[in-house]
Structure 1
Amino acid sequence: MPTGVCSSSMALACAARAFRPGLDMSFRFASLRPPPLAALRPYLVFILLWPIAGLLIAGASWLFLLSSFTRDRVAAERQVLATTLKIAQDGATQTRANLGMIDQVLTIIRVQWQALDGVVKLEQFGKMADPTGAPLRISLFDSDARLLMTNANGVWSAGDLARVAQLPFFTSQQLRAADDMFIGMPLANDTRSGYTVRFSRKLLDGDGEFAGVAVVTIDPEHLIAEYDDSRLGDHGFLAAVGSDGTVRAFKLGEAFRRIQLLPPPLQRALTSSSGSAFIRGTEFGDGVGRYVGWQAVEGVPLMVLAGADQDHALAVVREREIASRQTAVGATIALLIFVLVGMGLSGRLALQRYRLTVAQDAYRKATEASTEGFFITAPVYGTDGTVVDYVTVDCNEQGAALSRHTREELIGRRVSTLTGTIPVEPAIALLGQAMAQGSAEGDIESTVRGRQTCVRIKVRRSGDVLAVTLRDVTLERAHLSNLERKNFEDALTGLPNRAWVGKCLPDGVTRAMAGNRLLAVLFIDLDGFKAVNDTFGHAAGDELLQIVARRLKVAVRPGDHVARLGGDEFIVILENLNGTGEAAQVAGRVLQAFHAGVAIGAGTASVGASIGISMCPGDAHDVDTLLRHADIAMYEVKTRGKNGYQFFDPAFYGAMRQRKQRERELQAAIAGNQFVMHYQVRVSAATQRVASLEALVRWNHPTAGMLYPDEFIPLAEETGMIVPLGELVVDTVCAQIAAWTRDGCAAVPVSINVSSRQFNERDMHALFLQSLERHGIPADRVEIELTESTMIRDPVRTSEHLQAMHALGIRLLVDDFGTGYSSLSMLQQLDFDLLKVDKSFTRRLGGDGQGEVLFTAIITMAHALGMKVVAEGVERPEQAALLAQLQCDELQGYYIASPLDAVGVQGEIRRRQAA
Structure 2
Amino acid sequence: MSKPSAHTAPRTHRFLALLWPALALLACAALWTATILHAGAERRRAEEQAFKEADAYAEAYEQYVTRSVAQVDQITMQLKHSWEHARDRNLIENMRRDGMFTDAAFVNVSVVGPDGTIRSSSRIHGRTLNLAHAAFFVQHRDNISTALRIGVPPPELDEAHGTILFTRRLDTADDEFDGVLLMAVDAAYFTSFVSSPTLGPGSLLALVGTENNLRVEQDARGVVRTQGAAALLPANADRWPVARGVQLVTGPGGFADGEARVLGWRRSSAYPLVTLVALSHTAVLEAADAYWTDSRNHMLLATAALVLVALGASLLSLRAGARAGERAEIQRAYRTATESGNDGFYMVAPVRDRKGQTVDFRIVDCNERGASFYGTTRAELVGSLISELHQGVSFDDLATNYRTALAVGFHQEDRRMPDTNRLNIRWGHRRIVRVGDVLAVTLQDISERKEHESQLARLANEDSLTGLPNRHWFLNFVPAALARAEDGGHGAALLFIDLDEFKQVNDTHGHAIGDRLLQLAAERLLSQLRPGDSVARFGGDEFVVLLSPFDSDQQVAVVATRIVDAFSKPFAIADDQHMIGASVGIAVYPRDGLDAATLIRHGDIAMYAGKAEGKGQYRFFDHAQSNILKTRTQLRQRLLEAIDKRQFVLHYQPRVDTRTGELLSMEALLRWEHPQLGMIRPDEFIPLAESSGLIVPIGAIVIDAACAQLAAWRAQGAVPVPVSINVSPKQFLRGGVQRELADALARYHVPAGLLEVEITESAMMGDQAEILAELAAIRALGVKLHVDDFGTGYSSLSQLQRMKMDVLKVDRSFTAELGRSKEGTVFFQAIVSMAHALGMEVVAEGVENEAQLTILRALNCNEVQGYLVARPLPAASIAPLLAQRYLFDDALAA
What interval of TM-score do these two structures reach, taking the shorter chain for normalisation? 0.5 to 0.7
Letter in 2 for 1:381: R
870-879 or 555-564: bigger deviation:
870-879
1:366 aligns with 334
Letter in 2 for 1:273: Q
Instruction: Supply the distance in 1 between the matched residues of 2:150 and 2:655 (Cα, whole angstroms).
Output: 56
Letter in 2 for 1:369: A
Instruction: Supply the distance in 1 between the matched residues of 2:565 and 2:489 (Cα, whole angstroms).
Output: 31
Contact 2:653/2:865 (8 A) holds in 1 = no
1:401 aligns with 372
How far residue 300 of structure 1 moved from its aligned partner, in angstroms, is 1.7
Counterparts of residues 186-335 of structure 1 (less than 5 Å):
186=88, 235=106, 241-245=112-116, 268-274=134-140, 275-278=149-152, 291-295=165-169, 297=171, 299-305=175-181, 307=183, 309-310=185-186, 313-314=189-190, 317-319=193-195
Q: Does 1:430 find its partner at 2:428?
A: no
Instruction: Supply the distance in 2 between the matched residues of 1:814 and 1:458 (Cα, whole angstroms).
Output: 81
Q: Deviations over 1:183-236 (max 9, x none)?
A: x95268xxxxx899xxxxxxxxxxxxxxxxxxxxxxx99xxxxx999xx99858
Q: Deviations over 1:550-600 (max 9, x none)?
A: 444444332333333443333333333333344444444444554454455
| Selected match of 2:542 from 564, 569, 572 | 569
- The secondary structure found in structure 1 opposite 2:454 is helix
834-843 or 408-417: bigger deviation:
834-843
Contact 1:235/1:308 (8 A) holds in 2 = yes
Contact 2:665/2:723 (8 A) holds in 1 = no
Letter in 1 for 2:833: A
Q: Does 1:636 find its partner at 2:609?
A: yes
1:375 aligns with 346
1:527 aligns with 500
Letter in 1 for 2:779: S
Q: Deviations over 1:366-385 (max 9, x none)?
A: 34324332333333333444
How far residue 457 of structure 1 moved from its aligned partner, in angstroms, is 3.4
Instruction: Supply the distance in 2 between the matched residues of 1:272 and 1:599 (Cα, whole angstroms).
Output: 44
| Selected match of 1:474 from 414, 429, 447 | 447
1:207 aligns with none
Give the direction of change, closer, same or farther, for the CA distance of 1:526–1:281 in structure 2 (3 Å limit).
farther
Letter in 2 for 1:626: L
Q: Does 1:579 find its partner at 2:552?
A: yes
Contact 1:422/1:455 (8 A) holds in 2 = no
Contact 2:375/2:424 (8 A) holds in 1 = no
Contact 1:291/1:308 (8 A) holds in 2 = yes
Q: Does 1:795 find its partner at 2:666?
A: no
1:754 aligns with 725
- The secondary structure found in structure 2 opposite 1:799 is helix
Contact 1:185/1:248 (8 A) holds in 2 = no
Between the two proteins, the alignment pairs up a number of residues equal to 722
How far residue 360 of structure 1 moved from its aligned partner, in angstroms, is 1.6
Give the direction of change, closer, same or farther, for the CA distance of 1:244–1:324 in structure 2 (3 Å limit).
same
Give the direction of change, closer, same or farther, for the CA distance of 1:550–1:71 in structure 2 (3 Å limit).
closer
1:23 aligns with none
Instruction: Supply the distance in 2 between the matched residues of 1:379 and 1:77 (Cα, whole angstroms).
Output: 66
2:418 aligns with 446
Instruction: Supply the distance in 2 between the matched residues of 1:897 and 1:728 (Cα, whole angstroms).
Output: 24
Contact 1:373/1:469 (8 A) holds in 2 = yes
- The secondary structure found in structure 2 opposite 1:375 is strand
Letter in 2 for 1:305: L
Give the direction of change, closer, same or farther, for the CA distance of 1:69–1:314 in structure 2 (3 Å limit).
farther
Give the % identical residues: 30
Contact 1:379/1:389 (8 A) holds in 2 = yes
Counterparts of residues 629-708 of structure 1 (less than 5 Å):
629-663=602-636, 682=656, 684-685=658-659
Letter in 1 for 2:418: S
Instruction: Supply the distance in 2 between the matched residues of 1:682 and 1:886 (Cα, whole angstroms).
Output: 16
Letter in 2 for 1:368: T
Letter in 1 for 2:725: V
Give the direction of change, closer, same or farther, for the CA distance of 1:90–1:709 in structure 2 (3 Å limit).
farther
Letter in 2 for 1:446: P
636-645 or 75-84: bigger deviation:
75-84
Contact 1:690/1:912 (8 A) holds in 2 = no
Q: Does 1:416 find its partner at 2:387?
A: yes
- The secondary structure found in structure 1 opposite 2:328 is coil
Contact 2:671/2:680 (8 A) holds in 1 = yes
Contact 1:633/1:647 (8 A) holds in 2 = yes
Contact 1:233/1:308 (8 A) holds in 2 = no
How far residue 529 of structure 1 moved from its aligned partner, in angstroms, is 3.8
- The secondary structure found in structure 2 opposite 1:446 is coil
How far residue 243 of structure 1 moved from its aligned partner, in angstroms, is 0.8
- The secondary structure found in structure 1 opposite 2:632 is helix
Q: Does 1:719 find its partner at 2:694?
A: yes
How far residue 400 of structure 1 moved from its aligned partner, in angstroms, is 1.8
Letter in 2 for 1:523: F
361-370 or 328-337: bigger deviation:
328-337
Instruction: Supply the distance in 1 between the matched residues of 2:356 and 2:337 (Cα, whole angstroms).
Output: 37
Contact 1:376/1:392 (8 A) holds in 2 = yes
How far residue 764 of structure 1 moved from its aligned partner, in angstroms, is 5.9
Instruction: Supply the distance in 1 between the matched residues of 2:758 and 2:721 (Cα, whole angstroms).
Output: 14
How far residue 453 of structure 1 moved from its aligned partner, in angstroms, is 1.8
Instruction: Supply the distance in 1 between the matched residues of 2:422 and 2:513 (Cα, whole angstroms).
Output: 42
Contact 1:404/1:420 (8 A) holds in 2 = no
1:205 aligns with none
1:140 aligns with none
Letter in 1 for 2:350: P
- The secondary structure found in structure 1 opposite 2:138 is coil
How far residue 397 of structure 1 moved from its aligned partner, in angstroms, is 1.7
- The secondary structure found in structure 1 opposite 2:384 is coil
Of the two, which has the highest radius of gyration? Answer: 1
TM-score (norm 2): 0.61
Q: Deviations over 1:479-521 (max 9, x none)?
A: 3333333333334444333333343334334444565543333
1:616 aligns with 589
Counterparts of residues 807-826 of structure 1 (less than 5 Å):
816=789
Instruction: Supply the distance in 2 between the matched residues of 1:912 and 1:765 (Cα, whole angstroms).
Output: 42
Counterparts of residues 43-192 of structure 1 (less than 5 Å):
79=66, 83=70, 87=74, 186=88
Instruction: Supply the distance in 2 between the matched residues of 1:729 and 1:65 (Cα, whole angstroms).
Output: 52
Contact 2:656/2:887 (8 A) holds in 1 = no
Instruction: Supply the distance in 1 between the matched residues of 2:157 and 2:746 (Cα, whole angstroms).
Output: 58
Give the direction of change, closer, same or farther, for the CA distance of 1:341–1:752 in structure 2 (3 Å limit).
closer
2:827 aligns with 851
Q: Tell me: higher relative CO, structure 1 or 2? Use CA pairs within 8 A at least 6 residues apart.
A: 1
Contact 1:458/1:470 (8 A) holds in 2 = yes
How far residue 660 of structure 1 moved from its aligned partner, in angstroms, is 3.8
Instruction: Supply the distance in 1 between the matched residues of 2:617 and 2:120 (Cα, whole angstroms).
Output: 44
Letter in 2 for 1:391: R
Letter in 2 for 1:719: L
Instruction: Supply the distance in 1 between the matched residues of 2:55 and 2:673 (Cα, whole angstroms).
Output: 67
Unpaired runs of at least 5, structure 2 = 1-27, 141-148, 202-219, 221-278, 314-326, 765-770
Instruction: Supply the distance in 1 between the matched residues of 2:828 and 2:776 (Cα, whole angstroms).
Output: 34
Instruction: Supply the distance in 1 between the matched residues of 2:74 and 2:506 (Cα, whole angstroms).
Output: 17
Letter in 2 for 1:846: K
Counterparts of residues 449-598 of structure 1 (less than 5 Å):
453-513=426-486, 515-598=488-571
1:163 aligns with none
Q: Deviations over 1:297-335 (max 9, x none)?
A: 494222453637448943751447558679999999999
Instruction: Supply the distance in 1 between the matched residues of 2:476 and 2:100 (Cα, whole angstroms).
Output: 46
TM-score (norm 1): 0.60
Letter in 1 for 2:594: H
Give the direction of change, closer, same or farther, for the CA distance of 1:339–1:605 in structure 2 (3 Å limit).
farther
Contact 2:703/2:744 (8 A) holds in 1 = no
Instruction: Supply the distance in 2 between the matched residues of 1:502 and 1:78 (Cα, whole angstroms).
Output: 39
Contact 1:290/1:308 (8 A) holds in 2 = yes
